[in-house]
Structure 1
């Protein structure tokens, strides 16, 4: 077993790993071998400038390319997105300062209103363990006076600026994708998706520490996102993988692009035209990785709706969806998601 010395800032991930490994050995379960080499691919690249300032023909071509990527990949990259590299680099520096704090400070519920997460406390096997830590922050709390930032006084402003910028990207993309399915935002009061605003969305700051058990270990376990749309900024370390044509492919990082992926709610709303694709993060044995993700979510009581009837899904709210996901994870150790809400489902 490789030696591993954790710093005072690191969560006790190695302890979790070794405990689950010993449990697996007692139960005769071998460690996962999913860490084997996979093909690296470049995601489709969409130039948002064509969508926001191009002529009618350019806008149509851009939206068509985006819809094609959302249907075939569930993921794509966007360039000329309006989020400056300087701002993203500042966010990366602030993240590093945040995650360098002592573990006890991060785990204290007072910091960022208890939004800190690490590992997978409910994991019963190595298949469920995520080698990562994160702050999963409701946007509504960023500017609240009672949100405790400790000594990181500059973090609040940078997070708010990043959230605002990513929100503009998410809404531009969402409206364009909805438009390709015949939905006109202007006809619906100018808001799509319905029920989404600065009070309902989330910003997640992620750190994936270097992992001595990188082979067969997840930085983030395979999953789909439970939102409408996710906008991701990642560094150049790499590690994001997604399921494409029934096999895992590694996403090649691009320094000037943001990654966008379809969430479960958009797949349901689009009647499965757009795909919420399973993805994971693979940790690096030598380098830590940082990312920041913006999740476009509605309020819990918002009905998800559909682009057209008939829909394969019964009516449900975001709150119902979240509760069912949590129940399934607690009961089975994994998310079931959209199949629970199919009209012909017995669930």
Structure 2
């Protein structure tokens, strides 16, 4: 297979040519990507300034809004979140630089100039068995342990910016997680803080290249997040869609907001009170899309269980959950997730 490693774009069409040939020859007629959303909507908007400068009534109102959106949407957006705009803008600039490096260099991770573990750079979907399971995207996965260890190595603009972003967004994630825990009656509980350490959380820088096959593939295939909480900073291109009331809706980008969504672990821990909602990114034929996500994750040995008298989900460790997800992806090409752990399953 002749792949030009000097160009920056991942070789999607060359590597996955058999999947595209199957579509062309009508041998995969079920491979039809439906990306048309019913409508475009604004996510519930929460102004976090009330948590700091507001009255007690304003603070409690803000917390109720966060919990309500987590129950009814599984998604919401926050403004006045405490992350300076210059950090977000610099994050976008540095992302563009690193993703424009030659594909060969990205594969080696050398362009990061950080102490990153092998395999941090990922693209496409190696487990894809059909086009609906192929994600037309590339990403750098950055464990926060790598960010802290990079302080003893050469520090460039990217690593400095990532460090600033990770530090501020992790504080925001802790704050939101504590509010959601309090809403369940766990006021003062240190459970999430004890199991979700900087060493267990990570960032993912995403790029969705222009896609000439946009009607055949997703930018990111439909999924739920396998964590407690995700915080997303995205550009204004759009393309994020989620399921609301059984229908796909398009999320309107907000330049002043960060997007927050509930993950599988928080749905299980809350006994289904908070919703981990299926979402996806549609491919764009004209422009690239950039985003960076922070994932609030526990240690692999952390036990996830609801303290409800009638738990919906079996008790499981994060390690067991990840292993089951990986087994399903390898065998089926897609994730099953929480339904595997239902008590009535």
Q: How does 1:89-238 map to 2 (within 5 A)?
A: 89-108=89-108, 112-114=116-118, 115-145=120-150, 153-184=156-187, 186=188, 188=189, 190=190, 192-238=192-238
Stretches (4+) displaced over 6 A: 146-149
> C-alpha distance in 1, partners of 2:301/2:5?
42
Using the size of structure 1 for normalisation, the TM-score is 0.92
> C-alpha distance in 2, partners of 1:270/1:172?
17
**3-state SS in 1 of match to 2:88:** helix
Map of 1:306 onto structure 2: 306
Q: CA deviation at 1:30?
A: 4.8
Q: CA deviation at 1:6?
A: 10
- The 1:146/1:78 distance shift into structure 2, 3 A limit, reads closer
Q: CA deviation at 1:147?
A: 9.2
Q: CA deviation at 1:32?
A: 1.2
> C-alpha distance in 2, partners of 1:324/1:297?
16
8 Å CA contact retained: 1:113, 1:148: no
Map of 1:337 onto structure 2: 337
8 Å CA contact retained: 2:150, 2:159: no
Q: Deviations over 1:278-337 (max 9, x none)?
A: 000012111101000000000000112325333211111111100010011111111111
> C-alpha distance in 1, partners of 2:191/2:247?
36
**3-state SS in 2 of match to 1:81:** coil
> C-alpha distance in 2, partners of 1:28/1:48?
48
**3-state SS in 1 of match to 2:306:** coil
> C-alpha distance in 2, partners of 1:208/1:139?
23
Q: Which deviates more from structure 2 when the two are superposed, residues 309-318 or residues 120-129?
A: 309-318
**3-state SS in 1 of match to 2:218:** coil
Q: CA deviation at 1:199?
A: 0.3
> C-alpha distance in 1, partners of 2:153/2:320?
30
State the Cα RMSD in Å. 2.0
- The 1:33/1:334 distance shift into structure 2, 3 A limit, reads closer
Unpaired runs of 5+ in structure 1? Answer: none
Aligned: 1:12 with 2:11: yes
> C-alpha distance in 1, partners of 2:5/2:253?
28
Q: How does 1:316-335 map to 2 (within 5 A)?
A: 316-335=316-335
Using the size of structure 2 for normalisation, the TM-score is 0.92
8 Å CA contact retained: 2:229, 2:261: yes
> C-alpha distance in 2, partners of 1:144/1:98?
20
Q: CA deviation at 1:191?
A: 5.1
- Tell me the matched-pair count: 336
